[in-house]
Structure 1
Amino acid sequence: MRILLTGGAGCLGSNLTERYLDAGHQVLVLDNFATGQRGSLPEAHPGLTVVEGKVQDRALVDNLFAEFRPSHVIHSAAAYKDPDDWLEDTRTNVEGTIHVVEAAKAVGVKRFVNFHTALGYGRPEALPIPADAPARPFTSYGISKQAGENYLAVSGLPFVSLRLANVTGPRLAIGPIPTFYTRLKAGKGCFCSRTVRDFIDMDDFFSVMDAVMAEGAPSGVFNVSTGTGHTIKEIFDIVVDHLGITLNEPVPEVEPGADDAPAVVLDPSKTIETFGWRPRYSFEQTIRRMLAWYDVHGVTAIYSHLKAPPAKA
């Protein structure tokens, strides 16, 4: 395959890049390195081309597609670093997606895989959330990502859009796991939001990707999740146990902010039925595998799509 991967220096993108290079495919990575790390990609590999740039640069995107002629596109690029920067989210997640979609159409790609956020569902009426649940995003990140998916859906491209649970694996730089690990190891305090989320191991994500990238695979929208929800406090407790820490007092728990959803758990039954796929790793295995990776490699960066809680008076 000739794979053009936007956002290829991020956690998902860099892990996929390594996987596809090892399998002998040609990969072109486009990344602006706003959240992705250049060091996450191989320094020199005959099958890899790395281009620094933005998906909202229409001329650049068109030129890359025309020159590289990808057979497959994986669209992982996304803006989420500043929840108040609506214009940046729109330029990247909406306009940028449109540019990538239209360039893919122009060269006739065989497969377009889009990564979407579970936050596109907003605050769900019931859990777990089926793939046909209504989209009701209420944050800039969720709204803009949902709009990008909507444009892809009407493009006529052979596409799959994966609505992702929290994928954990090498170089994870977002969410409670690296935050708790870093702060607790440094002797700093933490707090837990009273929220429920679903988590899935990178290897289980890989097996989904193998299925959706296969020749003749079905198109459409699919949830990627174990289907089980867990509290943020459960993650905190596992990190405390992993690090062998004794707490002097219970960790504070706070209500979710206005830009957060109390519970988001995706129903993967459509994915399981369509692709014959099943996750292998339990919640605790997933978290502990992530922590073991941090023990060896450390945490290089931490980002969040959520606003910081207001400071106490």
Structure 2
Amino acid sequence: MRRILLTGGAGCLGSNLAERFIDAGDAVYVLDNFATGQRASLPDEHDRLTVREGSVSDRWTVDDVFTEFEPTHVVHSAAAYKNPDDWATDDAVNVGGTINVVRAAEAAGVRRLLNFHTALGYGRPEQVPIAVSAPARPFTSYGISKQAGENYLAMSKLPWVSLRLANVTGPRLAIGPIPTFYTRLKAGKSCFCSRTVRDFVDMEDFFAVVDLALADEAPTGRFNVSTGTGHSIREIFDIVVQHLGLPKQDVPEVDAGPDDVEKVVLDPSETIAAFGWRPRYSFADTIRRMLAWYDTHGVTTIYSHVRRPEGHGEATR
């Protein structure tokens, strides 16, 4: 039985993985400070699940968790991102917290450490799709701090994998244009679209690459997780309008803000070659599966790691 420490395990990715690991027979220990994650996203009680409130930025807490749980694997999903001006918290969690987890994992001799990184680590790319070998040029607090955390991980003696993620779409997604458009259009509120292009990967395809990356003999290093195709934010808006049965409508479009990037599309070719992984779900299917989940479960709090353009209030994205 694997013993998996899941940092940030109450967030969207973490909570979905916690359920998946428990169903697979693993013992799971979730460490989360609930700054953006929700305790209600995790099972109430399970004999193979332990939940602890605390931050990876606290080295004593991290060391105590490793001593108590003795993990065989670590999935590092914890991240600070909700306030682009709070550099200190981003640094404490995304840099210092990653160092704490890496050092504790080294001391414990874990079999595998899987880290989640953001595509914003590439900054404004010279070309798209972005190869995993492209230079890292982040320019936001979130991107800079996440990139620094990955850089420290790469200096470790651990068997590690860092997945540079496109927009993973699935249960409990609480960031970005999909939940924003869904909630605002359903409430009869106005929206706008940024003139940006993103790539979206279904949660089930994300699960598949995580399973492969956690295998003992799997390749190590940095890998992009994406379908490799980009889609405009306006395309998402149109799918949401259609899903809600609303008449086709015009929507204001604005340029990307100063802390945003016009086009972010990752090239997954090296991931496909290394793991034999290939995404199965199309863009339209991915978005519609997400909207169907909202129909049943609703949307809770929505977060963003970019500032709202001036003059557009809450009608974000």
2:272 aligns to what? Answer: 272
1:41 aligns with 2:50: no
Question: Which consecutive segments of 4 or more residues in structure 1 shift more than 6 A?
Answer: none
| Cα distance, 1:308 vs structure 2 | 1.4
User: In the comparison of the two structures, how many residue pairs are matched?
Assistant: 312
Alignment of 1:159-198 (within 5 A): 159-198=160-199
1:157 aligns to what? Answer: 158
1:131 aligns to what? Answer: 132
Alignment of 1:48-197 (within 5 A): 48-197=49-198
SS of the residue aligned with 1:34? coil
Cα distance in structure 2, aligned partners of 1:266 and 1:48 = 34
SS of the residue aligned with 2:309? coil
Cα distance in structure 2, aligned partners of 1:198 and 1:188 = 26
Task: Give the letter aligned to residue 229 of structure 1.
Answer: G
1:256 aligns to what? Answer: 256
Alignment of 1:220-259 (within 5 A): 220-246=221-247, 250-259=250-259
Q: Which runs of 5+ in 2 are unaligned?
A: none
| Cα distance, 1:156 vs structure 2 | 1.4
Cα distance in structure 2, aligned partners of 1:125 and 1:215 = 35
Task: Give the letter aligned to residue 309 of structure 1.
Answer: P
Cα distance in structure 1, aligned partners of 2:112 and 2:215 = 9
Cα distance in structure 1, aligned partners of 2:76 and 2:69 = 15
Q: Which runs of 5+ in 1 are unaligned?
A: none
The normalised TM-score by structure 2 is 0.97
Question: RMSD across aligned C-alpha pairs, in angstroms?
Answer: 0.9
2:23 aligns to what? Answer: 22
Task: Give the letter aligned to residue 301 of structure 1.
Answer: T
Cα distance in structure 1, aligned partners of 2:268 and 2:186 = 34
| Cα distance, 1:155 vs structure 2 | 0.9
1:281 aligns to what? Answer: 281
Task: Give the letter aligned to residue 142 of structure 2.
Answer: Y
| Cα distance, 1:312 vs structure 2 | 6.4
Cα distance in structure 1, aligned partners of 2:157 and 2:63 = 18
Deviation digits for residues 256-307 of structure 1 (CA, Å, limit 9, x no counterpart): 0000000000000000000001000000000000000000000012000001
| Cα distance, 1:311 vs structure 2 | 2.3
Cα distance in structure 2, aligned partners of 1:108 and 1:26 = 17
SS of the residue aligned with 1:112? strand
Cα distance in structure 1, aligned partners of 2:205 and 2:312 = 40
1:299 aligns to what? Answer: 299
Cα distance in structure 2, aligned partners of 1:18 and 1:225 = 22
Deviation digits for residues 17-48 of structure 1 (CA, Å, limit 9, x no counterpart): 00000111000000000000100000000000
Cα distance in structure 2, aligned partners of 1:189 and 1:200 = 27
Cα distance in structure 1, aligned partners of 2:16 and 2:312 = 39
Cα distance in structure 2, aligned partners of 1:66 and 1:80 = 28
Deviation digits for residues 131-186 of structure 1 (CA, Å, limit 9, x no counterpart): 11000000000000000000000011110000000000000000000000000000
The normalised TM-score by structure 1 is 0.99
Q: Go from structure 1 to structure 2 and tell me whether the alpha carbon gap of 1:88 and 1:279 turns closer, same or farther (over 3 Å shift).
A: same
SS of the residue aligned with 1:206? helix
Cα distance in structure 2, aligned partners of 1:280 and 1:118 = 20
Cα distance in structure 2, aligned partners of 1:94 and 1:210 = 25
